[in-house]
Structure 1
């Protein structure tokens, strides 16, 4: 099957069609190209927890677009200038951390759109085809395709989750189970308090027919969340998948390679 064009990501996400992606934490274009070649739907370029600056984000987004991948950027803050920078570079959307209040959700939505929002206009960036897109065509195209995803990862957000979910211009939610686990003092993300938070977030999203994205270790865990109502899945990261594959390869190698006397190699 031919993968849909990356610009259709928001439409597919909003329709709660299953989409799969991965975090990109290594400041290089190569991992993004690999995920694109494999057929992933999107990548999340991680400016919050990885050493990725604006210049690197710019070329990683170029790689995403060239690979027909939706390039989402997890911004390091909700600063409107940061969101604008990523969108001008051609991001399909932004993943904004710690959206714990209605006011912050509204500010994020405003920063990510022109009409009814406060996104600063420039037609000279990649998003505007370097001056090739007429003003109002660019406004309409961007407002129809840019995806603003709020990360719900603070206990305070749970107190206002229905109101946050209802904010116009927030197109979906990512459940930050790691931060919720730490903030709630839980032993792991499998604890009842975290599970209850997940259920409350998904329920709020369902009320307003908005999609939910979660990070999962693999297909089995994704199935569990799909049964709850999630439809978008971030499978680990480029680093996580490389580490897992490298560890398994090394284990296999130690098991299969033997010394001349028949004993297993203990050190390599």
Structure 2
């Protein structure tokens, strides 16, 4: 089982780095059922949202288990970027972490080191899921984790844009995510597609491209996604389990009410 799961993580990391089109979504509800459904629908990855959702360590552990069992890559948007919290998610079997508000080279270096054994600060243990509960060969575990664990800083502060070339060049940073929601508010804009936000986004994409690293984005719509793809972005998040539930529930209720109204009037 460990060999199969390691191969799945290798494949996802390789596909991301190769620039394949990949699609994921945020998971905000503290249940593994949504993840099973999302995997069945064909998503390539999920991002478990510890930052903005009521999800604790035990819930994250169960969601990661469901994701790995169903062949969808689990990443975690962590709430507190401590060495312990990063280590906990990786030991549980996460393919990587999204780290909010990475706005300096120092912070990028610190979180990258927390994700890495060799030359880093990740506390060693193979007794969790990532190490097949102790069954994994130590050398193989260390090598696999260092090569395939994804450390993904979230670029969502104006000051990060000023040093983006240095952030993306940090050893161990695998990719960048542009958080245009936070970025637009921090820049005093009310639209993710306002000109200053787009210019900042273009700068991040260009820096990542020059460093040979992928960028992940949350597209605002079809036209926005098409524009981002022309700029070289290939990996996208779309919505969340909560958003999907709300949209489907509202649509179903609207249909029921329309039928009822027509029936009463006739």
Q: Same fold (TM over 0.5)?
A: yes
Q: How many residues are aligned here?
A: 260
Partner of 1:165: 168
Contact map agreement 1:217 1:236 (CA 8 A) in 2: no
TM-score between both structures, scaled by the size of structure 2: 0.93
CA distance in 1, matches of 2:10, 2:36: 17
- How far apart are 1:5 and its partner, in Å? 2.5
- For the pair 1:66 / 2:69, whether they are aligned, the reply is yes
Question: Quick check: which one's helix share is greater?
Answer: 2
1:143-173 per-residue CA deviation (whole Å, 9 max, x = no partner) reads 1211111100000001101111111210101
CA 1:135–1:261 in structure 2 vs 1: closer, same or farther (change >3 Å)?
closer
Specify which of 251, 258, 261 is matched with residue 255 of structure 1. Answer: 258
Partner of 1:107: 110
- How far apart are 1:37 and its partner, in Å? 1.0
Aligned alpha-carbon RMSD (Å): 1.5
Partner of 1:182: 185
Partner of 1:210: 213
- Unmatched runs of 5 consecutive residues or more in structure 2: 1-6
Partner of 1:41: 44
Contact map agreement 1:213 1:233 (CA 8 A) in 2: yes
Q: Secondary structure at the match of 2:265?
A: coil
- How far apart are 1:230 and its partner, in Å? 1.1
CA distance in 2, matches of 1:50, 1:60: 13
TM-score between both structures, scaled by the size of structure 1: 0.93
- How far apart are 1:77 and its partner, in Å? 2.1
Partner of 1:246: 249
Q: Secondary structure at the match of 2:166?
A: helix
Q: Secondary structure at the match of 1:258?
A: helix
CA 1:239–1:95 in structure 2 vs 1: closer, same or farther (change >3 Å)?
same
- Runs of 4 or more above 6 Å deviation: none
CA distance in 2, matches of 1:88, 1:47: 16
Partner of 2:56: 53
Partner of 1:266: none
CA distance in 1, matches of 2:148, 2:221: 28
